[in-house]
Structure 1
Amino acid sequence: MTVIGIDPHKSSLTAAALAADGTVRATRRFAVTKGTGPAVSAWASQFEDILFAVEGAKGMGRGIAQYLLTQGYEVLDVPPTLSMKARVLHTGGGRKTDAADARAVGWAAQHHEGLQPAVVEDHTEILDLLTHARDALKSERTRALNRLHDLLRNLIPGGAPRGLTLTRARTALRGMRASTAIEQCRRDLARDLVGEVARLEKLMDDYERRIAEELQATGTSLMELQGISTILAGKILGEVGDVRRFRSAGHFASYTGAAPLDTSSGDNLRQRLNPGGNRRLNSVLHIMAVCQIQHEGFGRKYYLKKIQEGKTPREARRALKRRLSNVIYRTMLKDLAAAPPAPS
């Protein structure tokens, strides 16, 4: 089998064809244009039994990976950290070029059995785009409120109260009289920021409504779980995609960062917190766990049980997150089993 490793960039990508023994058969650089996909396919046609390996097939390499999938090729998604380690191990140093990176992507595909195949984008990609866009709007709204709070601190004696909202800001500005040109400037800027916050909140509501519509089309039952809102369900489906790509509930928990890492050495058996994994999904699990701890249900019972066993509140919450990861995994598998077959 000929493995073709691809190192993508914004304006170019480099492909390296590797023989079965890892030797480089050919290398070529392509400019990223409308004809990049057909050019890569035509260049690869000189080889037989082709397997493509794209670094970051869900990120920078999304375009070329999706094109190759539509042409019927098998494509593996190689994480950038894995290809970097493969390059260092093979070269024995930090020498880095696009051709060396492409070769490292191919080497990682040849020797790593756990790589996930890239798949054609489906309906969950819409949820991923909408939830990321809403999170970006939420960050902009927070920054605008912080700037507004700073202006009100200089306009109102004693400053604006904490937990500033759009309604409170409008109330504070209503009837305010500026005694100097400087205060008038601050007041005008504050009014502009109020309008900006109102615009962002309207966009956030529109995105939330669209997310709810897309979720209804998927037929998911995630929102029936305690602590899962419309936005959180959209994040889960958008980040996970096809849950069947995970071999087990433990594999899924490792992906979410809910499974602890084994750091045992000799007779010293211990585990520590996993700082890796998908941090968006880990945040969803955290919110879900906090919600269940605060309300009656199986989650709170499990949390209190861990507290009685001598766990600290933080350790008990982490144990609950691990269990909730299993619940989400089983729920998504059940939804797939209950879904009607896709039309041919």
Structure 2
Amino acid sequence: MSNLVLVRTCARLGGCDGDGGEGGDGVVEATRTTLCLLAQRIEQLTGQTRELQQRLARLVERHFPQLLVPVGIGPDSAVTLLITMGDNTERLGSEASFAALCGVSPIEHSSGQHHYRRLNRGGDRRANAALYRIVQTRLRYDRRTQDYYERRIKEGKSRREIIRCLKRYAAREVFNLVRPGLAGPPS
């Protein structure tokens, strides 16, 4: 059974109402009651999670609808990035500062003969993960991103380097979509 079917089946087990059933084995009855109560709680929490996700999606649609237009940016990623921006509006003077805040700004790295740029390991890890999800979605569904990926592979770049660049582009795009909406009277 899938998890959903399993939870529904357990939630419908007898014994949740505490009537004691047909007087069978105490361990079986206790197990049945526990499974039933836990499954009902899982269903309740799942419903609450779904409701909260819908509320967050409506908030993003109301305040920053332009953020949901580009490919790959869903309500969950948008909310995560907006929280990161909202907590640090005074530090966001440019898209480069937002990229650093998300941990997607390049850092110069050198071995002496070769010069590289590596990904910044600092910053808000949740925002970084949201940008990663955006990039992965675009790699799967966006033709322009797929063409960019193929072109960079032919140039000899590694997948890690390409994803770093794409995360930086995604951060730039999000910043430019949201920044005008954040400009308001200073608090």
The 3-state SS of whatever aligns with 1:221 is: helix
Amino acid aligned to 1:169: V
Q: Tell me the alpha carbon deviations over residues 165-204 of structure 1, each in whole angstroms, 9 at most, x when there is no partner.
A: 3x3422467679xx85434333322211111111111211
Higher helix share: 2
Paired position in structure 1 for 2:45: 200
Identity %: 26
CA 256–295 in structure 1, closer or farther in 2 if over 3 Å, else same: same
Q: Tell me the alpha carbon deviations over residues 190-238 of structure 1, each in whole angstroms, 9 at most, x when there is no partner.
A: 2111111111112112212322333244244111121112222222212
Whole-Å Cα distance in 2 between the matches of residues 307 and 267 of structure 1?
Answer: 22
The 3-state SS of whatever aligns with 2:110 is: coil
Which of 129, 132, 135 is the equivalent residue of 1:286? 132
Q: CA deviation at 1:256?
A: 0.7
Higher strand share: 1
Which of 263, 269, 284 is the equivalent residue of 2:109? 263
Q: Is the Cα contact below 8 Å between 1:243 and 1:329 reproduced in 2?
A: no
The 3-state SS of whatever aligns with 2:156 is: coil
Q: Could you state the TM-score of these two structures normalised by the residue count of structure 2?
A: 0.76
CA 263–244 in structure 1, closer or farther in 2 if over 3 Å, else same: same
Is 1:329 paired with 2:175? yes
Q: CA deviation at 1:268?
A: 4.5
- Written as runs of structure 1 = structure 2, the 5 A alignment for 1:23-62 is none
Q: CA deviation at 1:283?
A: 1.0
Uncovered stretches (5+) of structure 2, i.e. residues with no partner: 15-23
Is 1:247 paired with 2:93? yes
CA 296–273 in structure 1, closer or farther in 2 if over 3 Å, else same: closer
Q: CA deviation at 1:267?
A: 4.3
Q: Tell me the alpha carbon deviations over residues 44-103 of structure 1, each in whole angstroms, 9 at most, x when there is no partner.
A: xxxxxxxxxxxxxxxxxxxxxxxxxxxxxxxxxxxxxxxxxxxxxxxxxxxxxxxxxxxx
Q: Could you state the TM-score of these two structures normalised by the residue count of structure 1?
A: 0.45
Is 1:305 paired with 2:167? no
- Written as runs of structure 1 = structure 2, the 5 A alignment for 1:7-86 is none
Whole-Å Cα distance in 2 between the matches of residues 266 and 310 of structure 1?
Answer: 20
The 3-state SS of whatever aligns with 1:262 is: strand
CA 213–311 in structure 1, closer or farther in 2 if over 3 Å, else same: same
Is 1:170 paired with 2:32? no
Q: Root-mean-square deviation (CA), in Å?
A: 3.1
Paired position in structure 2 for 1:157: none
Q: Tell me the alpha carbon deviations over residues 89-132 of structure 1, each in whole angstroms, 9 at most, x when there is no partner.
A: xxxxxxxxxxxxxxxxxxxxxxxxxxxxxxxxxxxxxxxxxxxx
